[in-house]
């Protein structure tokens, strides 16, 4: 029995497919279209999922959408009614989008399926937005039962929810409603600091350690009335997102020291302080919500989803607080993962099928997307006249790549199935030596082509994680931060007075400076041989050579581009940056041997 789950029409569209309740495929539309955060109906992702699993053209038992459009439309209309004439700037655009596409979701999905040769199996099923998040968090988790916490911008009316999962049942107990949204509050500061909403929130999180929380009290006094349980009310006098074209307004400007930073202009200490201040407040709210979830459910384990669940700094603090014994977070925590949650909800709740847990989780290491055979890759390279060395033996190839990395080379790795979610976890990754004091700058400026302050994540062999980081639990999906262990940190170098605010990052003295953020933290990925055998083998080879079981792991893309999908995407990114080597399955390409690049460079979109 095949069940197809779909998310789309807002941002981060995706599709996921179940076969008899097992996850067999999941992918984001952006990877196929090369349009970052693509909001369109995920026709390409749907087609790939169905083709990958060999679904007969009449073989779908159910198709499930992750949201209820009519409920969302009601909320949009009421928002415009609440602001009256203030909504005239944007109502025409919003109504045009709704009347053209969003109100006809069932028809659009049926048309899309028929366009790729598949029959619609009866009526489209609709799951509530936060129920889809909750299902994506609980059903793939390793827990028999758990408290559920979902936090995002908004879905229909809910902006966060607390629930309980037990067996095959997910129950939502309490919810916070629009416009009182932690996700939108954080996005308001994302906007005010000059970053793109629904895209730049992780930049705000990375910027926060450079600042001081000097605006945190102003946030508490002017913007948010927070209860001990974590529920809150936003003071909408300071925001313009109800029905406007901006997130903040002039009252917001007056409280926080001026107008929003213009994108691409210099980042000042004010933006750093704003980022730190909202991060502190966000953590406070998340901690209160989690404690309340524990008190009303009585559960000892917690699962999380929703866009705010990607805030790994808050997750790390929540884990250290010890409110719950164990925490599991859906690796595709945003709307993309809700395609999977919608399908799982239908399998368990609508169709009444029992649930089976597995010791790690049932996400297959998030390796749920397309892969490309070595034969197909070699045929492409031969046809295009692109020199390579083939190393068939897995161990020998890992040893050779480890030697290249230990010699200071930057290596793009393309192997196995593409990851589902925003993180590259070793299959679509750019790797480097974390011991290099210059590598963070080199990767940001010459490879990723992005802001200099952005930190990089360490991928560490799971069995050695405790020796290098203050971490007492697995973090396979790069969703928790932890401090670098004290024995690997040293006193920072002195920074000259008046130096650039980000020069502090380059003053870090650490055994692994390329993955140590300015506050001594790191967004850790623990790699084990069960989930990621190839990546674990490479880390092991690097450890044997250097004594360090860690590599810099960043996604295989440049700024404004989605993570690479095809070998051709990978080669283009390789040739239009300063990467030294490219691994395509069992082929290793040396940049110096390649013919001159005559194709198009990656087209960057400011984000």
**Tally: H helices and E strands in the chain:** 19, 23
Sheet holding 169-177, edge to edge: 169-177, 158-166, 145-155, 301-305, 326-329
Active site residue 11: yes
Element (H, E) at 158: strand 158-166
**Neighbour tally for 496: CB within 10 Å:** 8
Residue indicated by tokens 């903040």 = 248
Distance in angstroms (rounded) separating the CA atoms of residues 199 and 307? 11
Tokens of 520: 């001594």
> Which member of 11, 37, 506, 536 is catalytic?
11
For residue 555, give the H/E element and its range: strand 550-555
Residue 119 to residue 530: CA distance in whole angstroms: 37
Q: How far apart are CA 14 and CA 40, in angstroms?
A: 9
- Backbone φ, ψ for residue 16 (5° rounding): -140, 150
- DSSP H stretches of helix in 510-599: 533-546, 567-575
What is the pairing mode between strands 581-584 and 22-28?
unpaired
Q: Return d(Cα 489, Cα 478) in angstroms, integer.
A: 21
Q: Could you give the count of Cα atoms lying within 13 Å of 292 in the half-sphere of its Cβ?
A: 20
Cα separation, 525 vs 475, in Å, equals 5
Helix (H) or strand (E) holding 590: strand 587-590
* Beta-strand pair 509-510/489-490: antiparallel
Where on the phi/psi map is residue 513: left (φ > 0), alpha (ψ -120 to 50), or beta? alpha
Catalytic residues: 11
């Amino acid at each position: 029995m095949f069940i197809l789950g779909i998310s789309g029409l807002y941002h981060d569209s995706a599709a996921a497919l179940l076969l008899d309740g097992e996850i067999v495929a999941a992918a984001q539309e952006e990877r196929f279209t090369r349009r970052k955060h693509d909001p369109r109906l995920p026709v390409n992702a749907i087609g790939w999922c169905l083709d990958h699993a060999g679904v007969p053209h009449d073989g779908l038992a159910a198709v499930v959408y992750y949201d209820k459009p009519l409920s969302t439309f009601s909320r949009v209309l009421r928002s415009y009614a609440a602001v009256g004439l203030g909504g005239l700037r944007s109502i025409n655009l919003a109504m045009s989008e709704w009347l053209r596409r969003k109100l006809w979701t069932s028809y659009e999905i049926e048309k899309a399926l028929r366009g790729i040769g598949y029959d619609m199996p009866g009526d489209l099923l609709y799951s509530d937005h936060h129920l889809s998040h909750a299902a994506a968090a609980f059903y793939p988790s390793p827990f028999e039962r758990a408290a559920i916490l979902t936090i995002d911008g908004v879905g229909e009316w809910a902006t966060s929810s607390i629930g309980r999962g037990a067996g095959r049942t997910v129950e939502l107990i309490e919810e916070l409603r629009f416009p009182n949204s932690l996700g939108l509050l954080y996005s308001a500061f994302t906007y005010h600091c000059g970053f793109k909403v629904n895209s730049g929130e992780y930049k705000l999180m990375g910027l926060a350690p450079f600042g001081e929380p000097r605006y945190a009290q102003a946030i508490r006094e002017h913007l948010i009335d927070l209860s001990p349980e974590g529920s809150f009310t936003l003071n909408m006098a300071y925001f313009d997102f109800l029905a406007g074209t901006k997130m903040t307004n002039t009252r917001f400007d007056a409280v926080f020291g001026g107008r929003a930073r213009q994108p691409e202009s210099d980042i000042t200490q004010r933006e750093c302080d704003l980022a730190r201040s909202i991060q502190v407040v966000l953590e406070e709210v998340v901690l209160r919500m989690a404690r309340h979830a524990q008190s009303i459910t009585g559960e000892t384990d917690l699962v999380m989803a929703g866009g705010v669940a990607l805030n790994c700094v808050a997750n790390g603090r929540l884990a250290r607080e010890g409110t719950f014994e164990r925490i599991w977070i859906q690796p595709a925590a945003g709307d993309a993962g809700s395609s999977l949650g919608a399908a799982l909800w239908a399998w368990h709740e609508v169709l009444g099928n029992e649930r089976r847990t597995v010791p790690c989780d049932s996400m297959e290491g998030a390796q749920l997307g397309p892969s490309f055979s070595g034969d197909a890759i070699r045929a492409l390279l031969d046809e295009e006249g692109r020199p390579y060395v083939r190393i068939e033996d897995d161990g020998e190839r890992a040893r050779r790549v480890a030697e290249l990395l230990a010699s200071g080379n930057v290596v793009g790795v393309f192997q196995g199935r593409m990851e589902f979610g925003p993180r590259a976890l070793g299959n679509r990754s750019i790797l480097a030596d974390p011991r290099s004091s210059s590598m963070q700058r080199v990767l940001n400026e010459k490879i990723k082509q992005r802001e200099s302050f952005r930190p990089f994540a360490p991928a560490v062999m799971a069995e050695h994680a405790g020796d290098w980081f203050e971490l007492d639990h697995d973090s396979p999906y790069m969703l928790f931060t932890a401090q670098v262990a004290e024995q690997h940190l040293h006193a920072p170098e002195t920074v000259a007075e008046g130096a650039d605010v980000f020069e502090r990052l380059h003053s870090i003295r650490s055994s692994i400076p390329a993955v140590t953020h300015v506050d001594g933290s790191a967004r850790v990925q623990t790699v084990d041989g069960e989930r990621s055998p190839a990546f674990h083998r490479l880390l092991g080879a690097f450890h044997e050579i250097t004594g360090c079981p860690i590599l810099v792991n960043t996604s295989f893309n440049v700024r404004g581009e989605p993570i690479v999908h095809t070998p051709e995407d990978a080669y283009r990114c390789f040739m239009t940056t300063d990467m030294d080597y490219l691994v395509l399955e069992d082929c290793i390409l040396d940049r110096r041997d390649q013919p001159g690049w005559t194709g198009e460079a990656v087209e960057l979109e400011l984000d």
